[in-house]
Structure formats: structure tokens, C-alpha cells
């Protein structure tokens, strides 16, 4: 039973289109993250948020943008998709206090293909 949801699971879209990848969590976590991962490769942090109206860029430069208007919702937007954006995008959230020992909870990911 997933507590963090990503939609869509798969997306094939043409170059130049604007897309928004959705991520929602029902755990009340303040911290949320977006990772980009190519097949067989390592996770790269592209954005994170420590709470409402807080967004930061991650270690890997990305042309995407994020927003955090509500605690439970952390969407990622690409204004103009390009083939180089083809990848898997994983959303995660993190609880504090006693739940800190449980690490991140990841969504199932969105596999994006830009043609």
C-alpha cells in the first residue's frame, strides 16, 4: 500500500511539450525530493523541499522546476521537453522524529520518454 504516489507511471511525449510530473504523499512529511535515474545508473538529486514554499536545487543541474504549495504535493515541471530529458523520475519523502530511522519512502517513479 503506497503512501506516496506518482503519476503518470509512463509518459511518451513530443519534443517541445510542457509536462508536469505529479507527486503526492499522505504521510504529512515535510521533506520531499525529486531524483533522476537512467537505467542501470545512480540516483541523482535534482530538487528538494523542506516544507511549504521551500524549494532547493539538488546536486545535478536540471532544466525542470518544482513547487511546494501544499505539504502533500510536490510537482515537477518541464517547460519544453527534449530527448535529453528521457529518464526515470523518482519522488521521495522523509519523516522526522522517530521515523527518521526509516529513511526515505519512494514513489514508483515516472518513466519519461521524449521523442
Partner 1 sequence: RKEVEQDPGPFNVPEGATVAFNCTYSNSASQSFFWYRQDCRKEPKLLMSVYSSGNEDGRFTAQLNRASQYISLLIRDSKLSDSATYLCVSRPLYGGSQGNLIFGKGTKLSVKP
Binding site for partner 1 (CB under 8 A): 31, 33, 39, 42-43, 45, 48, 56, 88, 90, 94, 100-109, 111
Shortest Å, Cβ 9 to partner 1: 11
Judged by CB, which is closer to partner 1: 64, or 109? Answer: 109
Shortest Å, Cβ 16 to partner 1: 27
Shortest Å, Cβ 111 to partner 1: 8
In whole angstroms, how far apart are CA 34 and each of 11, 44, 45, 100, 115?
17, 9, 6, 18, 22
Judged by CB, which is closer to partner 1: 14, or 96? Answer: 96
Contacts of 36 (CB under 8 A, 6+ apart): 43, 44, 46, 60, 62, 87, 88, 89, 90
Amino acid at each position: 500500500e503506497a503512501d506516496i504516489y506518482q503519476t503518470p507511471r509512463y509518459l511518451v511525449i513530443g519534443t517541445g511539450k510542457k509536462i508536469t510530473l505529479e507527486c503526492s504523499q499522505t504521510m504529512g512529511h515535510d521533506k520531499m525530493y525529486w531524483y533522476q535515474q537512467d537505467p542501470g545508473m545512480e540516483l541523482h538529486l535534482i530538487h528538494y523541499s523542506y516544507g511549504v514554499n521551500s524549494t532547493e536545487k539538488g546536486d545535478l543541474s536540471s532544466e525542470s522546476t518544482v513547487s511546494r504549495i501544499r505539504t502533500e504535493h510536490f510537482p515537477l515541471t518541464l517547460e519544453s521537453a527534449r530527448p535529453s530529458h528521457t529518464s526515470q523520475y523518482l519522488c521521495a519523502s522523509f519523516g522526522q522524529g522517530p521515523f527518521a530511522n526509516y529513511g526515505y519512502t519512494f514513489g514508483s517513479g515516472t518513466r519519461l520518454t521524449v521523442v
